[in-house]
Chains A and B, each alone.
Chain A
Amino acid sequence: MDLGINVFEMVIYLVGFIAFAAANAAYLVWVERKGAAHIQRRTGPKEVGPYGLLQPLADGAKLMSKQFIIPAGVDRPLFILAPILTMVPAIMIFVTIPFSETILARDFNIGLLMILAFASVNVLALLMGGWASRNKYAVISAARVVSQNIAYEIPMLIIVITIVLISGSMNLTEIVAGQAGGILHWNLLPTNGNFLGPITFIIFFICSLAETNRAPFDLGEAESELIAGFHTEYSSMGFGLFFMGEYANIVIAAALTTILFLGGWYSPLPESIPYAGASSVVWFLVKMYLLIWLVVLIRWTYPRVTLWSLLNLSWKILIPFSLFNLLASAGLVKLLG
């Protein structure tokens, strides 16, 4: 086993990722609240700091200083373990995400698979949290989350296989490298040689919305029916960790979409243009945050779907389409490649 790892670098990356996840969780909440407020013609947070920018810090301090209440009837070890289990895989996933050619904790040959494997642990955490709470709403929510996640994992995996077929690799760095040379080479666009690109992207995007339990697919925490879903019984940082895990997963989903479809750290402009054409981590972050903004917009624009239409969408529309898409893409790769 190769242990020639630089300990210093490892610690820096670990601390960096945890800080990145936490900062994103804090400020995406702010973005979400401000965005929602403006869509609903309100002002949103504005008292704490300019434009309410210090609100997330105040919220964090409040969450951390509250008591972590463990209700009498709960399954204690599971109840405590569940929020931790949402956060740990999310941090693990950041290890393989290449933010740029150089900002990458570990170049892993099957990085794509690793992301999917760790992402699947998240469902287990939500299920455990819901089940351990001994609360009817939480149990219903957990059941919903599981059926939703299992349903949407299938089309997502099929789409990922399609991308692997096109790129010929499960290494995220290589998938990005295959999209070098401006916007026309991105997997998103038909100009890449695969005219099914947009369909693949749309299916993947819908699946990533469903996998991260975001509206219009947020049946797990449908506030109007289930109070707060699986985290009804959680207070203080237990709730905080669930929340951080959710936003970390949104960041991961957006980063993965950026890598798979939007050319990662490459500039959309040809390389001959100075500055704007250069590839850097800035482009990666710009694309990622635009996607996250899209996710926020969708949440506050569309109403929540019902459970049946949600499951039907996956089993009856997305899975057949993604299978067909896989076959057609394989044919195209064989014909053109």
Chain B
Amino acid sequence: MNLSISPDIVPIFREGIFFGLLIVTVFGALLATLAKRMTRAILGLVVCFIGIAGLYFFLNSHFVALMQLLIYVGAVAITICFAIMLAQPDEMKMAAKTPALAGPFAILLGGAVTWVLASTAMKATWMAPALKVNEGTVKQVGASLLTTYSMVFELVSIVLLLAILGALVIARSGRDKIEC
């Protein structure tokens, strides 16, 4: 029994998957910005991350897609959630009224950013996505991290180290008075 997909409908399938992921991403982003409750905004962020991971997956960058899931959904979103839980926000309280000029200004700024990004994207020559499913993305990412981008890589690790030290200092300072 041969029930594999016929080649004619493959492009339709592909477009469908792509637009589906796009809708998920945009929906998540909208939810994250428009939600009144903090927890729902985080949910939107998570949905957006998952959509982006799906897009990476669609472009055959499986490693990046999985890292997106592991780091952003598995760590960043949870850390944000945790921070909010510790801060105990008043859930029902609406956001404070914003100044009248904030809306137009935000639209202007957002439009400018979009315009710059879009014009760059139109001019840029794009690399073709990896064609085979199991192409060694891990090797390529690892090699470029330790050769071309090794400086950035090390600098990022220093930034992270400083962040950890800062967190320790802040956490420690409250503890001095308590005997433990």
Binding site for B on A (CB under 8 A): 1-8, 75, 77-78, 81, 107-110, 113-114, 116-118, 120-121, 123-124, 127-128, 131-132, 139, 142-143, 146-147, 150, 153, 170
Contact = CB atoms under 8 A, between A and B. Distances in A.
A10 to B, nearest CB: 10
Contacts of B43: 77-78, 81, 128
Contacts of A118: 69
Nearest to B82: A146
Contacts of A143: 82, 85
Given A110-B63, A113-B70, A131-B85, A4 B77 contact: no
27 contacts: A2-B132, A2-B133, A3-B5, A3-B10, A4-B4, A6-B3, A7-B3, A77-B40, A78-B43, A107-B134, A109-B134, A109-B137, A109-B138, A110-B137, A110-B138, A114-B62, A114-B66, A117-B66, A117-B70, A120-B70, A120-B75, A121-B74, A124-B77, A124-B78, A128-B39, A131-B81, A150-B78
Q: Which 8 A-B pairs have the closest CB atoms?
A: A120-B74, A8-B3, A117-B70, A117-B69, A109-B134, A117-B66, A6-B4, A3-B10
A237 to B, nearest CB: 21
* SS class, residues of chain A in contact with chain B: helix
B13 interface: yes
A198 to B, nearest CB: 28
Nearest to B46: A124
A153 B73 CA distance: 14
Interface in B51-85: 58, 60, 62-63, 66-67, 69-70, 73-75, 77-78, 81-82, 85
A109 B3 CA distance: 26
B171 interface: no
Given A4-B4, A113-B67, 20 more contacts: A4-B5, A8-B4, A75-B37, A110-B62, A110-B63, A110-B137, A110-B138, A113-B63, A114-B62, A117-B67, A120-B73, A124-B77, A124-B78, A128-B43, A131-B85, A139-B85, A143-B85, A147-B82, A150-B75, A153-B74
